[in-house]
Amino acid sequence: MMRSPQDTARLALACLDLTSLNDADDEAAIVRLAERAAAAPGRVAALCVWPRFVRIACAQAPAGVAVAAVANFPEGSVDVERAVRDTGEIVAAGAQEVDVVMPWRALAAGDEAASATLLRAVRRACDGRLLKVILETGELKTPALITRASQIALAEGADFLKTSTGKMPVGATPEAATLMLQAIAADTAAAPRVGFKAAGGVRSVADAAVYLDLVEAMLGVQALTPRRCRIGASALLADIEAVLAGRNRETGPAGY
C-alpha cells in the first residue's frame, strides 16, 4: 500500500519504542525521555529503558504508553541466572514488556541449546508480559543463522522478534528483517500473533518506511499496529516531527 510521508510518520510514531539505553543514563534522563514522549504529536508505543529505571519510567510515562526494559543486555550471554534475575527485576518494578538478548554467540558457535534454555527460562519469568527476543542479526553472518535464531525464539514463546541491540556496528537491515518475517509467516502458530521490531540505525521516516512495508507485505496490513510492529529508536522521533510539520528533510527511498 502506498502511504504518504505523513501517514508513514504517524504509523511509525504509533509503533515507536522511544529508547534510552545509554551507559550514563540516570533518573533525570528517564524523566526527559517521558517528557519527550508526552510532547510528541501522538502516542508512542513504549518507553524502553534499563531495568533499574523501570519504576521511574512507569511513574512518568504518559497514559497508555507501555514500559519495556532490557534483559541479558547487551552481551547476550549464556548466563541463565543473570537473564532471569534481570527479568524478575523488570517484572517486579511493573514493566509490561521485556526485551531479552538471545545468546547469539553460542548459537553462532553451534550451541542451539543455550539459546533455547535461556529463552525458555525468561519466558517463564515474565509470564503474561510481552516478550521481545533480540537476535543481534548483524552478528549472525549467514541467512541460515538468522532463520534458525528466529525459529528458536518462536519455539520458546517470543511475542516479537527484534533485530538488534543497537550496540553493534550493524543494526537492522532489510535483508535480516525479511528472513525474520519469513520465519514468522512460515510458523502457523506464530503467523497470526507474533510481531517484528526493527532496532539499530532506524533514524528517519524513510528508514522506518522500509520496515513498515516489509511487515505489511509479509504479515499483512493487519500487522501494522503496535501489537505486531515496533521500531526501537531514540533519534527517529525528531524526523517524525519534522515530516508531520512539513519541514525539510533528507530525501530517501519511495519518495521520501
Residues 205-247 have pLDDT tens digits of 999 999 999 999 999 999 999 999 999 999 999 999 999 999 8
* Cβ 225 vs Cβ 193: under 8 Å: no
255, pLDDT greater than 50: no
Q: Which residue type is seen at 242? A: A
CA distances 71 to 44, 134, 220, 238, Å, are: 21, 10, 30, 27
The answer to whether residue 159 is catalytic is no
Question: For the segment 157-206, what is each residue's pLDDT rounded down to a tens digit?
Answer: 999 999 999 999 999 999 999 999 999 999 999 999 999 999 999 999 99
94-141: per-residue pLDDT in tens?
A: 999 999 999 999 999 999 999 999 999 999 999 999 999 999 999 999
Please report the pLDDT score of residue 248 as a whole number.
56
The catalytic residue among 197, 207, 213, 239 is: 197
Residue 251 binned pLDDT confidence (cut-offs 50, 70, 90):
very low
Look up the CATH number of the domain holding residue 226: 3.20.20.70
For residue 1, name the pLDDT band (cuts at 50, 70, 90): low
What is the span of the domain harbouring residue 139?
A: 5-255
Q: How far apart are the first and last CA of the chain?
A: 15
Count of domains in the chain? 1
Q: Which of 99, 207, 213, 239 is catalytic?
A: 99
pLDDT tens readout for residues 46-101: 999 999 999 999 999 999 999 999 999 999 999 999 999 999 999 999 999 999 99
CB contact set of 227 (below 8 Å; sequence gap of 6+): 195
Please tell me which residue in 86, 132, 162, 207 is annotated as part of the active site. 162
Secondary structure of residue 181 in the 3-state scheme: helix
Q: Please calculate the CA angle 103-104-110 and round it to the nearest 5 degrees.
A: 100
- Concerning whether 132 is annotated as a catalytic residue, the answer is no
Q: How many CB atoms lie within 10 A of CB 15?
A: 26
